[in-house]
């Protein structure tokens, strides 16, 4: 089965290559080309939250497996998007990465240093280099502090500069995020949602971090304001060489801002690919369902698209399904007459010839299906206008 | 004759901080079986318009201060509460954004559904219960007889919204108002619920007003769309026309400020500058002028009315041939709408006269 999208490779110089899995390899190594150093590396990260019961004696009766063995690397200066539905563990990944939680298992390596278990002053030193932007600009700013107070707090905590120098720095930061430097005296309630989010961004920038974890930074904002914040984040990345982990549920936004995208389902990464590749040639049945569910603001395109309606809800992360976690809702499994392998064996993330990493036993079967091709609502196969994926760059 | 006909509706809220002009003279019609999208940001008046139609404005702060709402030729504005009660649920039903707060947490689904059915129909408990089972099965609930005895918290968000849809359709209303029905749900669940909603509405011939901020949802779900801003309808057209030829700068701005899943790489987002309007201050001119890239001096002083974008004597308010209308003194051309900003050489957005004189 030849994938129709391969015909899009610009100029036709790239021979259509059959899709095949390369031998199993360390998932971490893939997607990290030799010239780009990963800033953060996560190996087999697990974050379980205990469920306890009992009044006097808290018995440990189970775990919510929010993150259950994920490996990924974020290169310096890139944006890695993390998408998935609520409860898939994407926010927990971000928070664990920043060591706001102590991971249950696995390793986190930040700029060559293992920070999985560091504590105290060495943890504080690392934290200086990574910051977070939160979803809700209303609850993430202290209502009793002025904008200047909020922005200078990280400087204070880390004992950086003081007095006049610090005040100047705050004014600079306000200007950097596109606000009037004189607004520093105002309180959060005097600002609109978009302006508050800018203050949150200025606070994250105060320590000149290397990594910023942005957890749904625009989903609480009005539609007309979202683009302002997206553009701001993109500009700042260019200016300061920031590395972003961008966590969101909205695939259109994630695709716009990210270089690579990891799709999560129930605590696992099911697919990891360049943002272009993921959209042009998704290889996991869940990614395809997710892409097909995103409405596109164009009635003509909507009329052409075929939506995959997943049945049922996401199962509970405290008792995930055996084998492939998606098998209870998978449309492909149904088509393949419910192979036993999906229930019995957990698929590992494997690198495909397209440079994708995908965790599905039957990813080859996905390629070329009508569902995959129609995800975008393109009329059949598009002309050679858009060169397709970097086929064949897997090791 | 239109099923619903809203004329010059004005709704204001009296608050401690002043009077909020939530809806400022909105008129639209809806035919039987038609689906109408109402889009706009939070605070644009889209929800308030429909709460006014249902006469569910929070009292005493919110009041209909002008206009008429004709439902099957009867003016709902003049009805008293008991007459309205007859109508609600039976003729006009509503689905809200958050299904958790619109279901009673201490009653089972059965009690709530039976209560709704019995309030309007003279049926026995047994018949009402049978109808409830039928409705739950219709919205795709597995083992409906068992689930009837569950409480709302035992359902997931998507399932709760299905229960809401089942209850809304229990009495086969002629009009269903869905206020952001999928905003609280994940995309895959949103797809389930929207598919269900459009299938059931089509099967029953129910007219639907779909309120949403998501232009993608409007594109896939509706036949006709009204775009609202600051309590005004600023553009009205069939959904196909609206997206093919957006003619109000705000609509153009909305379309360019959101990334599209199918966009070419390097897509440029053009944000709408400034902040949403303060509804306590009635603008002298066009409410969108302070944020508009196309504004001309007239925009600061005179509020444009909704006019056909191509001159016509025969203005259609409803149906597949509804006239494309926009409220704008300086409409973006087709090329400008595609580009996202004014392309006329040397064009500069007109300065606010009150700023200029300072």
pLDDT digits over B280-318, tens only?
Answer: 988 899 999 999 999 999 999 999 999 999 988 889 999
- A9-53 confidence digits (pLDDT tens): 333 333 344 455 444 444 444 444 445 679 999 999 999 999 888
Please state, for a pLDDT cut of 90, what percent of chain A lies above it: 60
Instruction: State whether A296 and B264 contact (CB < 8 Å).
Output: no
Which residues does chain B have within 8 Å of residue A277's beta carbon, measured at their own beta carbons?
none
Of B156, B256, B265, the CB nearest to A276: B265
Topology of domain A4-9+26-52+61-129+209-374, per CATH?
A: Rossmann fold (3.40.50)
Are A299 and B189 an interchain contact pair (Cβ–Cβ within 8 Å)?
Answer: no
Tell me if B260 and A251 make a contact (CB, 8 A cut-off): no
pLDDT score for A25: 42
Say which of A230, A296, A313 has its CB closest to residue B262.
A296
Q: Which of B261, B267, B271 sits opposite A296 (nearest CB)?
A: B261
Rg over alpha carbons for chain A, rounded to the nearest Å, is 22
User: Which residues in chain B are closer than 8 Å to A308, comparing Cβ atoms?
Assistant: 191
Chain A contact set for B217 (CB, 8 A): 295
Segment among A14-28, A320-334, B67-81, B151-165 with least mean pLDDT: A14-28
Residue in B259, B276, B291 to test binding to A, most A beta-carbons within 10 Å: B259
Report the C-alpha gap between A314 and B189 in whole angstroms. 10
- H/E segment holding residue A107: strand A105-110
User: Chain A partners of B265 at a C-beta cutoff of 8 Å?
Assistant: 276
Task: Say what the pLDDT of residue A312 is.
Answer: 77
Please indicate if any CB of chain B lies within 8 Å of the CB of A224: yes
pLDDT higher than 70, residue A385: no
- Mean pLDDT along residues A171-190: 92
Closest Cα of chain A to B41: distance in Å?
Answer: 6
Q: How confident is the model at residue A3 (pLDDT cuts 50, 70, 90)?
A: very low
Q: In Å, how far is B140's CA from the nearest CA of chain A?
A: 10
User: B113: which DSSP letter?
Assistant: H
- Phi, psi angles (nearest 5°) of residue A363: -60, -35
Distance (Å) from the C-alpha of residue A23 to the closest C-alpha of chain B? Answer: 31
Q: Which CB contacts under 8 angstroms, 24+ apart, belong to A8-12?
A: A8/A280, A8/A381, A8/A382, A8/A384, A8/A385, A8/A386, A8/A387, A8/A388, A9/A387, A9/A388, A9/A391, A10/A384, A10/A387, A10/A388, A11/A384, A11/A387, A12/A384
Q: What pLDDT shows up at residue A13? A: 38
Paired strand residues for B68: B7
Considering only A67-76, B36-45, B156-165, which range has the smallest mean pLDDT?
A: B156-165
Domains of chain A, residue spans: 4-9+26-52+61-129+209-374, 138-204
Q: Say if the Cβ atoms of B272 and A276 lie within 8 Å.
A: no
Model confidence band, residue A389 (pLDDT cutoffs 50, 70, 90): very low
DSSP B20-55: EEEEEEEEEEE-TT-EEEEE--TTSSHHHHHHHHTT
Under 8 Å between Cβ of A90 and A81: no
**Mean pLDDT, all residues of chain A:** 85
pTM for this model (two decimals): 0.86
d(CA B209, CA B222): 9
Structure confidence at residue B171 (pLDDT) = 86
The pLDDT score that the predictor gives to residue A384 is 37
- Provide, as residue numbers in chain A, all residues whose Cβ is less than 8 Å from the Cβ of B264: 386
A279 CB within 8 Å of a chain B CB: yes
Spell out where A209-292 has E strands: 211-215, 243-248, 260-265, 268-274
Candidate from B219, B256, B273 with C-beta closest to A295: B219
Cα–Cα dist B96/B177, whole Å: 8
The answer to whether residue A165 neighbours chain B at the CB level (below 8 Å) is: no
Give the model confidence (pLDDT) of A236-289 as tens digits.
999 999 999 999 988 999 999 999 999 999 999 999 999 988 988 899 999 999
Give the rounded percent of residues in chain A with a pLDDT score beyond 70.
86
Which of A246, A292, A298, A331 best probes binding to B when mutated, by most B CB atoms within 10 angstroms? A298
Retrieve residue B8's tokens: 């010059």
**What backbone phi and psi angles, to 5 degrees, belong to B23?**
-130, 125
User: For the residues B136-156, what does the mean pLDDT come to?
Assistant: 88
Q: How close B118 gets to chain A, by Cα (Å)? A: 30
Instruction: Please give, rounded to a whole number of angstroms, the shortest distance from the CA of A118 to a CA of chain B.
Output: 36
On the question of pLDDT at A390 being above 50, the answer is no
B35-39 vs B207-212, strand pairing mode: parallel
Contact B65, B74 (CB under 8 A): no
* Identity of the residue in A249, A255, A386 whose CB atom sits nearest the CB atom of B261: A255
Where does B213-276 show beta strands of DSSP type E?
224-229, 232-238
Q: For chains A and B, what is the number of CB pairs under 8 angstroms?
A: 135
Q: Checking phi first, is residue A355 left (phi over 0); if not, alpha (psi -120 to 50) or beta?
A: left
Q: Which chain B residues are closer than 8 Å to A253 by Cβ?
A: 259
Q: Does A86 touch chain B (CB under 8 A)?
A: yes
- Closest chain B residue to A194, measured at CA: B275
The residue with tokens 């994708």 is A356
């Amino acid at each position: 089965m030849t994938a129709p999208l391969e015909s899009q490779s610009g100029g036709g110089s790239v021979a259509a290559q059959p899709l095949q899995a390369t031998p199993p390899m360390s998932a971490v190594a893939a997607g990290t080309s030799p010239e780009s150093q990963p800033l953060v590396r996560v190996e087999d990260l697990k974050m379980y939250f205990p469920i306890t019961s009992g009044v006097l004696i808290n018995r440990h009766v189970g775990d919510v497996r929010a993150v259950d063995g994920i490996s990924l690397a974020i290169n310096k200066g890139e944006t890695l998007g993390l998408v998935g539905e609520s409860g898939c563990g994407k926010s927990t990944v971000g928070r664990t990465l920043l060591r706001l939680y102590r991971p249950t298992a696995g390793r986190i390596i930040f700029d060559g240093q293992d920070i999985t278990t560091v504590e105290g002053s060495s943890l504080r030193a690392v934290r200086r280099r990574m910051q977070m932007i939160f979803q809700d600009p209303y609850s993430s700013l202290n209502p009793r502090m002025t904008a200047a107070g909020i922005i200078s707090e990280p400087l204070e905590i880390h004992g950086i500069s003081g007095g006049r120098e610090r005040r100047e720095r705050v004014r600079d930061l306000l200007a950097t995020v596109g606000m009037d430097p004189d607004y520093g005296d105002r309180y959060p309630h005097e600002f609109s949602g978009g302006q508050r989010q800018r203050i949150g961004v200025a606070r994250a920038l105060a320590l000149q971090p290397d990594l910023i974890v942005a957890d749904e930074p625009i989903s609480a904002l009005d539609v007309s304001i979202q683009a302002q914040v997206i553009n701001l984040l993109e500009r700042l990345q260019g200016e300061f060489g920031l590395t972003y982990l961008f966590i969101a549920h909205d695939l259109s936004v994630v695709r716009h801002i990210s270089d690579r995208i990891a799709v999560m389902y129930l605590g696992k990464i099911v697919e990891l690919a360049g943002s272009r590749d993921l959209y042009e040639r998704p290889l996991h049945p869940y990614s395809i369902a997710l892409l097909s569910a995103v409405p596109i603001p164009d009635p003509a395109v909507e009329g052409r698209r075929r939506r995959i309606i997943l049945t049922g809800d996401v199962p509970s992360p405290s008792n995930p399904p055996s084998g492939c976690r998606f098998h209870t809702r998978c449309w492909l499994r149904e088509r393949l007459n419910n192979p036993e392998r999906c229930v019995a064996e957990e698929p590992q993330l494997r690198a495909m010839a397209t440079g994708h990493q995908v965790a599905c036993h039957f990813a080859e079967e996905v390629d070329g299906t009508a569902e995959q091709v129609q995800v975008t609502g393109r009329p059949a196969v598009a002309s050679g206008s858009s060169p397709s994926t970097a086929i064949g760059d897997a090791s | 004759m239109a099923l619903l006909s809203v004329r010059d509706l004005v709704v204001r809220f009296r608050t401690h901080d002043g009077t909020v002009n939530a809806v400022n003279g909105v008129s639209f019609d809806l035919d039987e079986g038609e689906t109408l999208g109402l889009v706009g940001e939070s605070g644009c008046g889209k929800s308030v318009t429909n709460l006014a139609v249902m006469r569910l404005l929070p009292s005493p702060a919110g009041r209909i201060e002008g206009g008429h709402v004709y439902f099957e030729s009867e003016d709902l504005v003049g009805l008293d509460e008991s007459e309205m009660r007859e109508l609600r649920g039976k003729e006009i039903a509503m689905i809200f954004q958050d299904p958790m707060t619109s279901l009673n947490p201490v009653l089972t689904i059965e009690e709530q559904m039976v209560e709704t059915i019995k309030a309007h129909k003279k049926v026995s408990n047994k018949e009402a219960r049978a109808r409830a089972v039928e409705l739950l099965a219709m919205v795709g609930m597995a083992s409906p007889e068992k689930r009837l005895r569950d409480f709302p918290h035992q359902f997931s968000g998507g399932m709760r919204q299905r229960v809401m849809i089942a209850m809304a359709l229990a009495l086969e209303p002629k009009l269903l108002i869905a206020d952001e029905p999928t905003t609280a749900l994940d995309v895959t669940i949103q797809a389930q619920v929207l598919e269900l909603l459009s299938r059931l509405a089509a099967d029953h011939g129910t007219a639907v007003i779909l309120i949403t901020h998501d232009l993608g949802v409007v594109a896939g779900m509706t036949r006709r769309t009204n775009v609202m801003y600051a309590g005004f309808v600023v553009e009205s057209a069939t959904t196909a026309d609206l997206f093919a030829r957006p003619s109000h700068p705000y609509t153009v701005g909305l379309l360019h400020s959101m990334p599209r899943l199918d966009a070419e790489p390097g897509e440029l987002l053009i944000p709408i500058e400034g902040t949403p309007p303060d509804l306590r201050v009635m603008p002298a001119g066009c409410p969108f002028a302070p944020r508009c890239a196309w504004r001309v001096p007239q925009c600061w002083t005179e509020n444009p009315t909704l006019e056909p974008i191509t001159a016509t004597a025969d203005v259609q308010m409803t149906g597949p041939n509804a006239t494309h209308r926009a409220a704008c003194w300086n409409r973006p051309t087709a090329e400008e709408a595609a580009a996202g900003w004014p392309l006329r050489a040397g064009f500069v957005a007109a300065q606010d006269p009150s700023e200029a004189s300072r």
